[in-house]
Amino acid sequence: MKPTSVLLLLSVPGWLLAQDVDSEHARKTLEIYEHIIEIESSKGLGNVPGLAQYLADQLIAAGFPAEDVEVVPFDETAALIARYRGNISSTKAPILFLGHMDVVEAYADDWERPPFKLTRDDTNFYARGTIDNKFGVTQLTSTFIRLKKEGFVPDRDLIIAFSGDEESTMGTTEMLAYERDDLAEAEFALNSDAGRGALDPDGQALIYGIQAAEKTYVTWDMTFRNPGGHSSLPRPDNAIYDMADAIKKIQAYRFPVRWNDLTIGVLRETGKQLGGELGEAMSQFAEKPGEGDAAERLAIESSYVGMTRTTCVPTMLRGGHAENALPQSVTVTVNCRVFPGVPVSEVLEKLQLVVANDAIEFVELGEAVESPVSNLREDVVAAVKIAVHARYPDVSVIGYQVSGGTDGMHFRRAGIPTYGAGGIFMNPDEMYAHGLNERVPIKAFYDALDHWTVIIKELTGN
Q: 361 and 404 in one domain? A: no
Pick from 306, 328, 126: nearest CA to 216: 306
Grade residue 81 by pLDDT with cuts at 50, 70 and 90.
very high
Residues 145 and 208 in one domain: yes
Confidence of residue 20 (pLDDT cuts 50, 70, 90): low
pLDDT value of position 8: 33
Judge contact between 338 and 344, C-beta under 8 A.
Answer: yes
| Half-sphere exposure for 256 (CA within 13 Å, toward CB) | 8
**Total domain count for the chain?**
2
What is the reported pLDDT for 291? 85
- Domain encompassing residue 320: 216-365
pLDDT at 411: 98
Based on the fold, state whether residues 320 and 233 are members of the same structural domain.
yes
- On the question of pLDDT at 10 being above 80, the answer is no
CB atoms under 10 Å from CB of 206, counted, come to: 23
Q: How confident is the model at residue 6 (pLDDT cuts 50, 70, 90)?
A: very low
Residue 383's pLDDT band (cuts 50, 70, 90): very high
pLDDT in tens, 323-367: 999 999 999 999 999 998 899 999 999 999 999 999 999 999 988
Residues 126, 35 share a domain: yes
Predicted confidence (pLDDT) per residue in 142-157, tens digit: 999 999 999 999 999 9
Average pLDDT, integer, range 398-424: 94
Q: Which of 314, 344, 365 is the last residue of a domain?
A: 365
Say whether both 290 and 358 belong to one domain. Answer: yes
Looking at 365, 387, 416, which one is the last position of a domain? 365
My answer on whether 190 and 46 are in the same domain is yes
What's the length of the chain?
462
Q: Do 361 and 384 reside in the same domain of the chain?
A: no
Instruction: Provide the pLDDT for residue 157.
Output: 98
Name the percent of the chain lying above pLDDT 90: 81
- Classify 462 as helix, strand or coil: coil
Domain check: are 144 and 164 in the same one? yes
Instruction: Please return the burial class of 244, using the count of CB atoms within 10 Å of its CB with bins 0-12, 13-18 and 19+.
Output: middle
pLDDT in tens, 275-333: 899 999 999 999 999 888 999 999 888 888 888 999 999 999 999 999 999 999 999 99
Kindly state whether residues 221 and 271 are assigned to the same domain: yes
pLDDT value at position 18? Answer: 46
What integer pLDDT is reported at residue 430 of this predicted model? 85
Does residue 272 sit in the same domain as residue 401? no
Please give the pLDDT value at position 1. Answer: 33
Work out the percent of the chain whose per-residue pLDDT is above 70: 95
**339 vs 209: CA distance, rounded Å:** 18
Same structural domain for residues 15 and 112? yes
| 113 & 262 share domain | no
Average pLDDT over residues 196-213: 92
Q: Identify the pLDDT of residue 270.
A: 86
Q: Considering 307, 333, 365, which residue would you say is the last residue of a domain?
A: 365
pLDDT of residue 462: 66
- Mean pLDDT on 4-14: 35
Q: Is the whole-model pTM more than 0.75?
A: yes
Q: What is the CATH number of the domain that holds 190?
A: 3.40.630.10
Tell me, what's the pLDDT at 215?
92
**358: domain CATH number?**
3.30.70.360
Is residue 76 scored above 60 in pLDDT? Answer: yes
Asked if 161 and 136 count as a contact pair (C-beta separation under 8 A), the reply is no
Structure-model confidence comparison of residues 67 and 429, the more confident one: 67
**Residue 15 confidence (pLDDT):** 33
Residue 445, pLDDT score: 96
* 160 pLDDT higher than 50: yes
Q: 12: burial class by Cβ within 10 Å (0-12, 13-18, 19+)? A: middle
Give CA separation, 186 vs 73, 173, 260, 380, 417, in Å.
Answer: 22, 15, 27, 14, 9
